[in-house]
Copies of this chain bind each other. A is one copy, B any other.
Amino acid sequence: PVKLWSLAVEFANKMKKLGKDDPRRIIHSLKVGVAITLVSLFYYVRQLFDRFGENGIWAVLTVVLVLEFSVGATLGKGLNRMLATLSAGALAVGVDRVATLFDRTGQPIVIGILVFIVAGTVTFMRFFPALKARYDYGLMIFILTFCLVSVSSYQDDEVLEIAYERLYTIIIGSFIAIIVCICVCPVWIGETLQNQMANNLEKLGNFLEGFGREYFRLSEEGHSTDDKSFLHGYKSVLTSKDKEETMANLARWELWHYRFGFRHPWNRYLKVGTLTRQCAYKLEDLNSYLKYFEIQTPTKFRREIQEPCIQICSESGKALKELASAIKKMRRSTSVNFHIANSKLAAENLKSKLIDNSLWENANLQEIIPTAAVGLVLIDIVPCTVKIVEAFQELASRARFERMDDRVSPSNDV
């Protein structure tokens, strides 16, 4: 019992932490409670129950299944469910009409064969990647509704009525779910995606800025003791692909939104995401060179290339952080170009220093090689950043981000 108690306390603490980390979770739980209580009125209110009877259960079911954390997911499921029920119901009624042409023994065979064909075909369609991404739920509901209506049509002559009632109650349930989801503290998945893209860029920026200081200061002052969390922040970016794609698919359902509007270019966000990951792989690489410190002492070579290296780090880092804040505010940024130009200059400078033979004379190769390799990676990071900036510019023009300064002509806007 004592152990059970401590387990319960631990569980409660975890719940508390979960709620604190993201209070929207608590709000979502309350929203589900409210929506279900609302839809229960179908049973509690005499007039409503007399109208819909036992079929009110489909409305309850729909609310529980459709109401999701984000608006995009709820809309997607709701629209999928309504459209699928409508089309599958219509098809099932058609099948029923065909089946009535046969006698009582023939009917189940005809219905059985048609159900087999439709269920098999639609199940196969669920494997299409394009359909799976956005309409998987709808295809499943299509199979479900078609089977329910067709199969029960054999025992129940009121097949049209079954189909109608199911459609009505599902539409009512979906609307209750969608309205509660949008009206009470909505969580827009599009905003979440945008913030995540921005945070990822910021993490990369933080790493670059921190790396420049860390790599060259360490060698002068020994190990620094301050917070090094920035050195690990970028790791989550490495595996962000699937999450971003799921979010973009859901965000497409959010057809209207006060900031994004209709036909927001979510694909462009994915493009930026891909390039961000590519840059993160380079950082992973840089990070692995930090371990060479233990065996090193500062040398002339390192001091020589220190300046352009730190400059690339800080300018690229600033550019990425500037992009992050531009994405968050949905603005174009002009100072990005300045930082990019600076980092390009620093890269040229670094290149010319690296091939300067005088630096290499009488050098400790064991130290020089990793440092030179760091320099090479840093030179590589500049075009990586440029690509991200270009993808951002394209996103900004497609999504009609605000211009900070309208006098700047688009051609200067690279």
Contact = CB atoms under 8 A, between A and B. Distances in A.
Interface of A: 14-15, 18-19, 25-26, 28-30, 32-34, 36-37, 40, 43-44, 49, 54, 57, 60-61, 64-65, 108, 111-112, 115-117, 119-121, 123-125, 127-128, 140, 143-144, 147-148, 151-152, 154-155, 238-239, 241-243, 277, 281-282, 284-285, 288, 354-357, 360, 365-366, 369-370, 372-373, 375-377, 380
Contacts of A30: 120
A44 to B, nearest CB: 4
A164 B366 CA distance: 76
30 contacts: A15-B125, A25-B124, A29-B120, A29-B124, A30-B120, A33-B115, A34-B116, A37-B115, A40-B108, A40-B111, A40-B112, A43-B151, A43-B152, A44-B112, A54-B152, A60-B148, A64-B140, A64-B144, A238-B277, A238-B281, A239-B241, A242-B243, A282-B288, A284-B285, A285-B377, A288-B380, A357-B365, A369-B372, A369-B375, A372-B373
A286 to B, nearest CB: 10
A36 B147 contact: yes
Contacts of A123: 28-29, 32-33
> Which DSSP category, helix, strand, loop or mixed, fits chain A's interface?
helix
A60 B151 contact: yes
A144 B66 CA distance: 11
Contacts of A144: 61, 64-65
Contact of A33 (B54, B108, B119, B377): B119
Contacts of A356: 365
A18 B49 contact: no
Contact of A373 (B34, B36, B369): B369
Contact of A360 (B43, B108, B360): B360
A43 B155 contact: yes
A65 to B, nearest CB: 7
Contact of A36 (B116, B128, B375): B116
Contacts of A60: 147-148, 151
A184 to B, nearest CB: 13
B57 A119 contact: no
Given A44-B108, A152-B57, A288-B380, A33 B120 contact: yes
